[in-house]
Amino acid sequence: MRLASLSESRRRRRHVGVGASRRPPFLLVAIASLTVALLSVPPIYLIVRASNSGAWSIMNRPATWHTVGRTLLLVVCVGACSLIIGATMAWLVARTDLPGARVWGVLSVAPLAMPSFVAALALAGATGPQGLLSKLTDAAGLGTIRPLHGLLGATIALTMATFPYVYLLSMASLRTLDPALEDAARSLGRGRAATFMAVTLPHLRRALTGGALLAGLYAISDFGAVSLMRYDTVTRAIFGRIESGVDRRPAAALGLILIVLTAVFLFAEIVARGRSHLRSGPGLRRAPTPVPLGRWKIPALAFAGLVGFSFVIGPVTVMAYWVQRAAANGTLGEVEWGATVTSVLLALVSAVVVTIVAVPVAVLARRYPRTWTRAMERTGYGANALPGVVVGLSLVFLAARYLPAVYLTFPLLIAAYLIRFFAQALSGVDTALAAVNPRTEEAARSLGRNPLQVLREVTLPLMRPGLFAAAMLVFLSVIKELPVTTLLIPTGSRTLATEVWRKTTIGAYGAAAVPALVLILVAIPFILVAVREHTLDAPAESPATTLT
Amino acid sequence: MKFRRPLAAIGILAAGLMAGCGGSGSSSDNRSLTIYSGREEEIVQPLFETFEKQTGITLDVRWGKSAELAAQIAEEGDNSPADVIFSQDAGALGSVASKLSALPQTTLDRVPATFRDGDGRWIGTSGRVRVVVYNTKAASGAALPDDVLAYSTPKYASRMGIAPTNASFQAFVSAMRITHGDARTKTWLTDLKNNGVKTFESNRQIVEAVAAGEIDYGLVNHYYLALVKAEQPDAPIANKFLAAGDPGALVNVAGVGILATTERAKDAQTFVDFLLSDEGQRFYSTEAEENEYPLVAGFDPAPGLPKLSELVGESFPLTRLADEEKTTLEMIDEVGFTV
């Protein structure tokens, strides 16, 4: 045992430099510990809360387990659809001679600007007797389209919201695949298809399982789309409980079920991920030769066109139509600048705070590897298992009772975002840190700088592009966030997301389309920047947590 | 060095956030009230704006579902930042009655005793009636039963929508339990479920689904008809008012109460009195798009609506709704409408 740990620490030392044997700076340890403590608040509080008598009776009810079953079904459907669409689009754009690859690339990431409930709203608005699509089919003499609801509707809406994540991860992974490996397989007598199965697919495996997991986790914790599509999942049931009021213990018990479900998926992904396939040598990689599509060009274009039309152009057209219709009958309302400013500021502040707070945890785990620093890092990624409604609910419980000074204030809301999106920031920060050579830091140390000075003057400046990308992704997540925001936003304040949702629930679709379009317009530039930074980087160590 | 600039930027941004949009953080010498409103913003905002203009008191409003806000007040205990709860259901008011302070008799006397708390801790400000909304292409109002019990048969239930998590529906189930007993109510709910009733999030969605022909009937409050008609004037929908005293014709109230923990009791009282003033009541007779019933004597409902006196039958005090709520929710759970 001693021998093993000795060789282990030696192995690490080679990679991490001298930090392994030094005491980690107190400031970093303090910030990281506080962060990890904050992350563990929701599960602990829910357990305390739900363990009061009575709450567990919901476990004995068949309806509860039906709902769990429906949730799992949705997760599988969304995961599969996102995987197929995202990976196919990535392969077409990155590795084939598909015309207009740039355009298809942008159309594949643009849905990131659209919250799932806006996607659902657009779908519901396209179908049904009053819908835009129905107007077209009716004019063509085909009758109207039935309103889209239930599993099918929820799957389409959530696929719309999640396939860009699979696309991005697949893209990053495809870019790091050395075509020489595929060439070697071809030269050893394998055909194109066999090469794909033997080389390309195993290389993509991590990105694909990670992407599917992301899509699945999104579906588990989504509230807006499933509500609009009237598909009962555990998350929707929790909100039903909250709205019915009186007794909130069943909501807490359901929240714990949700955490367990998510944890199971996180674990399943680790198993499915398998060993990663890495390039052996550091040599230069040549650009891949595009695969000629030949007679598949038309079907491929049709597929890409369908994706671009259904997930970007279609929804935006529906909303523009609503705006126009509402403007015509005078129910439009104005652009809410207050909500816009709040949304943008809140998302910016949260993005910076969450990214900065993730730095100490990442630095400790990578530069001062100990059992406890690795444990902190894992806890950080585990925060991914906390759906928004659970985070929101537990902070309402806690702050209303014990922290009235911060209850329903922006700092508490930002703390909630910190919990919700910490894993996402951590992954981005760690990717950025991995790109910094410890030797450079050691050189600074040898010139008499202390560890914190090194961090500030050398490491952080070198990490800047990666930190920037991580912050952008957090920004996008925050500006689209609904359940946490609904529960914790200060009284009298509103965000674009809460405005869209509020107006949707009262059926004012035209009025809802205005903040929805503003939200999309605000988010698009951030997506383009984040995507550029992200895809330039090597894929993160844990793809599953990169983008959540 | 470079790291400092983002920190400074975030400081400025954060300051902007607090200054620009911190509605709740306004100082106490600024006259403001925090209202937890279960009434929808689109409906009551004009009324709130008139109040702000007349009194100079700013309203910080937390919009939400009535029951949700009541539960939140219960959760917050003595720390509640709310001064007033404005609920769209007597049940939610009843559930937090112990946290409300008694209103003066002059205020209470504005409305009939049926529409307020027996101990005077909350008071109704407008009335809403349960109805069956139907698609006029699918049915004629005269041919529809005027007893809600008749609607659980496959003929109606399979084409009907309900909103089981909605407080108005829950209050209606409580009323049915009081009128017809628990066993009959549970059978009725079970029949509905077995005969394929559709569940929705809100009354509004039900009325829209009826207008769209997705379903033909819905158990809703009467005023959603007017709201949907405002957006779709040609929608083929109408309200069927059931027999007076039938639980399906329950007259519930939206009402208001002042938190006992408030430090702004005087302004809160001004707000309550405003809602019950002639002007506040006239809003429901004439201005409000949604056609709720004014409760103060001398104000008629919007044209085309039956008189309140024709709908209230052998009634029970609305205070009872709060007492029945827990059992009602359990029953709705047991039948399997909620999770």
Contact status of B323 with chain A (Cβ, < 8 Å): no
- Contact residues, chain A, for B75 at CB < 8 Å: 248, 396-397, 400-401
Whether the per-residue pLDDT at B299 is higher than 50: the answer is yes
Condensed to tens digits (0 to 9), the pLDDT of residues A496-530 reads: 999 998 888 777 777 888 899 999 999 988 888 77
Return the HEC string of A222-266. CCHHHHHCCCCCHHHHHHHHHHHCCCCHHHHHHHHHHHHHHHHHH
- B199 to A230: CB separation less than 8 angstroms, yes or no: yes
Angle between helices A496-505 and A337-367 (to 10 degrees): 120
As a whole number of angstroms, the distance between CA A13 and CA A21 comes to 8
As a whole number of angstroms, the distance between CA A333 and CA B264 comes to 33
Cα of A392 to nearest chain B Cα, Å = 13
> Which of A62, A349, A505 lies nearest to residue B13, judging by beta carbons?
A349
Contact status of B21 with chain A (Cβ, < 8 Å): yes
* B16-42 average pLDDT score: 69
* A105-120 average pLDDT score: 89
Diameter of chain B measured on Cα atoms? 80
- Residue B332 in contact with residue B173, Cβ under 8 Å? yes
pLDDT level of residue A542 (50, 70, 90 thresholds):
very low
Residue B194 has a pLDDT of 94
Residue B18 has a pLDDT of 61
Q: How far are the Cα atoms of A134, A239, B136, B150 from residue A148, in angstroms, in the given order?
A: 12, 22, 23, 30
Residue A540 has a pLDDT of 39
Q: How far is CA A234 from the centre of its chain?
A: 19
- A346 to B17: CB separation less than 8 angstroms, yes or no: yes
Cβ contacts of residue B96 below 8 Å, gap of 6+? B70, B73, B74, B85, B257
B192: helix, strand or coil: helix
As a whole number of angstroms, the distance between CA A300 and CA A98 comes to 7
Residue A335 has a pLDDT of 77
- Contact residues, chain B, for A129 at CB < 8 Å: 212-214
**CB neighbour class for A246 (10 Å; exposed up to 12, middle 13-18, buried from 19):** buried
Q: Which of A199-203, A325-329, A481-485, B303-307 has the lowest mean pLDDT?
A: A325-329
B159: helix, strand or coil: coil
* Dihedral Cα A524, A525, A527, A533, nearest 10 deg: 170
- B20 to A345: CB separation less than 8 angstroms, yes or no: yes
As a whole number of angstroms, the distance between CA B3 and CA A409 comes to 27
B12: helix, strand or coil: helix
> Choosing among B2, B3, B5, B21, which should be mutated to test the A contact, i.e. which has the most A CBs within 10 A?
B21
Residue A7 has a pLDDT of 44
pLDDT level of residue A21 (50, 70, 90 thresholds):
low
Mean pLDDT taken over chain A: 83
Smallest CA-to-CA distance from B305 within B107, B97, B127 is with B127
A494: helix, strand or coil: coil
Q: E strands within A312-451?
A: none
User: What residues pair up with B33 in beta bridges, in sequence order?
Assistant: B59
Tokens of B80: 């509640």
As a whole number of angstroms, the distance between CA A255 and CA A388 comes to 10
pLDDT level of residue A10 (50, 70, 90 thresholds):
very low
Contact status of B95 with chain A (Cβ, < 8 Å): yes
Condensed to tens digits (0 to 9), the pLDDT of residues A52-75 reads: 656 677 777 788 888 999 999 999
- A130 to B63: CB separation less than 8 angstroms, yes or no: no
* Dihedral Cα B210, B212, B213, B215, nearest 10 deg: -40
CB contact residues (below 8 A), chain A span 243-272, against chain B: 243-248, 254
Residue A77 has a pLDDT of 95
pLDDT level of residue B47 (50, 70, 90 thresholds):
very high
As a whole number of angstroms, the distance between CA A338 and CA A495 comes to 8
Whether the per-residue pLDDT at B191 is higher than 90: the answer is yes
pLDDT level of residue B8 (50, 70, 90 thresholds):
low
Q: Count how many Cα atoms sit within 13 Å of the Cα of residue B147 in the half-sphere of its side chain.
A: 6
Residue B77 has a pLDDT of 82
Residue A502 has a pLDDT of 85
- A400 to B75: CB separation less than 8 angstroms, yes or no: yes
- Residue B117 in contact with residue B93, Cβ under 8 Å? yes
pLDDT level of residue A274 (50, 70, 90 thresholds):
low
Q: What is the CA radius of gyration of chain A?
A: 24
Residue B187 has a pLDDT of 96
- A507 to B228: CB separation less than 8 angstroms, yes or no: yes
- B231 to A401: CB separation less than 8 angstroms, yes or no: no
User: What residues pair up with A96 in beta bridges, in sequence order?
Assistant: A291
pLDDT level of residue B68 (50, 70, 90 thresholds):
confident
Condensed to tens digits (0 to 9), the pLDDT of residues B320-330 reads: 888 888 889 88
Altogether, the residues listed in chain A come to a count of: 548
Contact status of B12 with chain A (Cβ, < 8 Å): no
- Contact residues, chain A, for B41 at CB < 8 Å: 502
Contact status of B200 with chain A (Cβ, < 8 Å): yes
Condensed to tens digits (0 to 9), the pLDDT of residues B94-109 reads: 889 999 999 999 999 9
- Contact residues, chain B, for A61 at CB < 8 Å: 333, 339
Whether the per-residue pLDDT at B201 is higher than 90: the answer is no
**pTM for the full predicted model:** 0.82
Residue B5 has a pLDDT of 59
